[in-house]
Amino acid sequence: MKTLFVIDAKDYEEDWPVLKATTVRGIIRKDGLFAMQKNRFGVYKIPGGGPDEGETYEEALIREVKDEMGFILDPASIREIGMVFEKREDAFKKGKVFERCTRFYDCQILSETGETNMTKSEIALGFEPVWADMDTIIRENRLCLVEKWNIRDTEFFVWLKEQEEHV
């Protein structure tokens, strides 16, 4: 999978221990809108998460999108878009570097069940499934760039918009 861009906060020392994580995110479109999670603060998040032990990236994507959005993905529709790498001081373990590789996939839904199984933290933040256009996602997320995932997801949509304007 190709690298789309890198976000490096440069707020760490090069000799610090490194914690690594990989997540998957699903880009789902319908009628010019994108399937997103939106929290009570108006911040949009691309559905997805980390693979469980023994899970492939595609299996994790299918599970996470079902849990967060209530959508059943078409496994045959899943196509790689690219990866985004993030590097910064870990938010919870000071003196350690956090490196995340987020793998983005274009995918389509087979059905919308409406049944979600969100995590306690997603429920506490008031996340709900919504459809939104790209400009709204970018504009609203830029008003509240405090969460690291928010920066990544906003920059992904900025990147995607640039790609589509050059087609």
Q: For residue 139, give its domain range.
A: 3-165
pLDDT at residue 148, rounded to an integer: 66
The position carrying tokens 């998460």 is 49
In this structure, the number of other CB atoms found within 10 A of the CB of residue 13 comes to 8
- pLDDT < 50 regions, the chain: none
CB 109 within 8 A of CB 73: yes
Q: pTM for the full model?
A: 0.93
pLDDT at residue 136, rounded to an integer: 97
Distance set, CA 43 to CA 38, 85, 95, 134 (Å) = 5, 21, 29, 13
The position carrying tokens 């996602």 is 137
pLDDT at residue 144, rounded to an integer: 81
* CATH label of the domain that carries residue 46: 3.90.79.10
pLDDT at residue 150, rounded to an integer: 83
* Count: domains in the chain: 1
Average pLDDT, the chain: 94
pLDDT at residue 166, rounded to an integer: 84
pLDDT at residue 113, rounded to an integer: 87
Of 144, 127, 126, nearest to 48 (Cα)? 127
Task: Report how far residue 64's alpha carbon sits from residue 72's, in angstroms, rounded to the nearest whole number.
Answer: 10
